[in-house]
Amino acid sequence: MRTIIRVFITLVLAAIAIALGIWLWQYYMYTPWTRDARVRADIVTIAPDVSGWVMDLDAHDNQQVKAGDVLFTVNHERYEAAVRQAEATLANREYSYQLSEHEYERRRNLGSNAISTEDRETARLNAQIAKAQRDLAKAQLDSARIDLERSVVTSPVDGSVINLHLRQGNYVSQGNAQMSIVRNGSFYITAYFEETKIPSIDIGDGASVWLMGGDQEMHGHVVSIGRGIANTNTTPDGQLLPQVQQTFTWVRLSQRIPVDIAIDHIPDGVYLSSGMTASVRIDDPRQKDDGVDGVRPHGMGNAGEQARDPDIPPAVTSDAEQRDP
Amino acid sequence: MEQKQEKGVLLRELSIGGVFISPMLLFALVSLVISALLRTMMHKAGLTRWVWQEAWFDVSLFVIVLAVVTYLSSHVL
């Protein structure tokens, strides 16, 4: 009898342990949280629209700038000369137009026995050509003025200057980025969730964010779930054949899907820099019963979007709709 | 959007001198200590004679304690 009780106690304990072990596994593996999240922001790269030496450098590294603030000035002597040249060309063309216009006026009024029809027609067309050339010179002057104007490079947004390597006297080329600006107030979090956790994440779900530095918790919500990541199996080789990777038979690594999280409120004292590491946990929807559910779209929240193309058979969306929110 | 302030450590990494470790490591260490204490107490109280396979019992006890610690960390603390 005592042996039976001993066996029974041990077996019951083992059974409980197995059940709790399964719960623990599910909890740890499928709770939507990740340590792999980064702070991101809107980055605007600044490239001059004209080439030349940097005459004045007004920006300095990590400086706060407002939209319209002067960042640097490219040497504009050549562009001033170009404007003067274009002005002179315009004057030249204007006068040749007047000349040919007057010629045409005179010939138009001559009688048909004084001038041939051909000569009169030539005079008319010459006047037209001169007019077109004057318009061309006008457009070139406008273009030269734009170049001159853009030799002063200004900030398009409010933000901070990042990674300024530019120095006064450097030669900058048209279209080559010289610095970048992080737009103020544009910080958001991109969390890279394992694909196994994606089904339990909905657009609109609340999220808790911790930065690696500091213990302060920030709240946000999911705004979008990435629709694509690179697939190395489709990379073609030199013969355009797909380079299909071998997988291990037993071990397969889950892919990470980027999920964008908007920060609802940045607490005082929290300093955000684009690129910081963060941990993100999606708050369990079952714990948010205070009216949030009514606002939140059902299921993935974008099942309709997924099936917008009428050519996609409805089977594509059935998974998303069956999902328990 | 009104957010409820979540309690406890729940699932988030722990920083020890700039090295970030999984919370499960902490839970496991705590559970190891707790189950060792329980084991010692049972031994002192002479309850071990009711145990059939000691190894099974120890492993089961550890898993149960670990699950309880994990649950408590996120729901009670």
User: Average pLDDT of B35-64?
Assistant: 86
pLDDT band at A297 (very low <50, low <70, confident <90, very high): very low
Tell me whether B15 touches chain A (CB under 8 Å).
yes
Asked if residue B10 has pLDDT above 80, the reply is no
Q: Tokens in use for A63?
A: 């400086």
pLDDT of amino acid A309: 53
- Using the predicted structure, report yes or no on whether residue B13 has a pLDDT greater than 80: no
Q: How confident is the model at residue A93 (pLDDT cuts 50, 70, 90)?
A: very high
Residue A291 pLDDT exceeds 70: no
pLDDT for residue A304 = 47
**With contact defined as beta carbons under 8 Å apart, do A197 and A34 qualify?**
yes
pLDDT digits (tens, 9 = 90+) for A172-211: 999 999 999 999 989 999 999 998 888 888 888 899 898 8
How far A201 CA sits from the closest chain B CA (Å)? 16
| Cross-chain residue pair B67–A28, CB shorter than 8 Å | no
User: What are the structural domains of chain A?
Assistant: 32-42+184-288 (2.40.30.170), 48-74+154-176 (2.40.50.100), 76-150 (1.10.287)
Residue A300 makes CB contacts below 8 A (sequence gap 6+) with: A202, A203, A225, A306, A320, A323
Interface test with A, best of B3, B7, B9, B47 (most A CBs within 10 A): B3
Q: Could A35 and B6 be called an inter-chain contact, meaning their C-beta atoms sit closer than 8 Å?
A: no
Residue in A26, A44, A42, A45 with CA at minimum distance from that of residue A260: A42
Which has the minimum average pLDDT: A156-170, A197-211, A248-262, A273-287?
A273-287
Nearest residue, CB atoms, B1 vs list A3, A28, A264: A264
Q: Does A288 touch chain B (CB under 8 A)?
A: yes
Question: Which residues contact residue A189 at a Cβ distance below 8 angstroms, ignoring those fewer than 6 apart?
Answer: A37, A38, A39, A40, A207, A209, A220, A260, A261, A263, A278, A280
A284 DSSP 8-state letter: P
If we measure between CA atoms, which residue out of A170, A175, A180, A178 comes closest to residue A56? Answer: A170
Res. A43 pLDDT band, cuts 50 70 90: very high
Q: What is the pLDDT of residues A137-178, one digit of tens each?
A: 999 999 999 999 999 999 999 999 998 989 999 999 999 999
Q: Do B4 and A288 touch (CB under 8 A)?
A: yes
Average pLDDT over residues A221-248: 88
Nearest to A179 by CA among A54, A304, A293, A298: A54
Give how far B43 is from chain A: nearest CA, Å: 15
Say if residue B1's pLDDT is above 60: no
Q: Count, in order, helices (H) and strands (E) of chain B.
A: 2, 2
Mean pLDDT on A260-276: 89
State phi, psi for A318 to the nearest 5 degrees. -60, -35
Preferred mutation among A219, A265, A277, A280 to probe B, highest tally of B CBs within 10 A: A219
Residue A97 scores a pLDDT above 90: yes
Predicted confidence at residue A285, as pLDDT, reads 54
Give the per-residue pLDDT at B77.
58
Is B21 part of the contact surface with chain A (CB cutoff 8 Å)? no
**How much of chain B exceeds pLDDT 70, in percent?**
74
- Supply the mean pLDDT for chain A: 84
ipTM over 0.85: no
Residue A322's pLDDT band (cuts 50, 70, 90): very low
The minimal CB distance from A35 to the residues B13, B52, B67 is found for B13
Contact list, B61 vs chain A (CB under 8 Å): 13, 17
A221 interface with B at CB cutoff 8 Å? yes
Domain ranges of chain B: 22-75
Q: What is the pLDDT of residues A63-74, one digit of tens each?
A: 999 999 999 999
Question: Is the distance from CB of A290 to CB of A261 less than 8 angstroms?
Answer: no
Among B6, B15, B56, the residue with its CB nearest the CB of A283 is B6
- Taking one residue from A and the other from B, the number of pairs with CB-CB distance under 8 angstroms is 82
Whether B20 has its CB under 8 Å from any CB of chain A: the answer is yes
Instruction: Decide: residue A76, CB within 10 A, 0-12 exposed, 13-18 middle, 19+ buried.
Output: buried
For testing contact with chain B, the best of A4, A16, A24 (most B CBs within 10 A): A24
Stretch B21-35: mean pLDDT:
87
State whether residue A52 is helix, strand or coil. strand
Report the C-alpha gap between A161 and A69 in whole angstroms.
11
Range scoring the smallest mean pLDDT among A55-69, B5-19, B62-76: B5-19
Residue A163: per-residue pLDDT: 87
Cβ–Cβ of A292/B2 closer than 8 Å? yes
Looking at residue A246, what is its pLDDT? 81
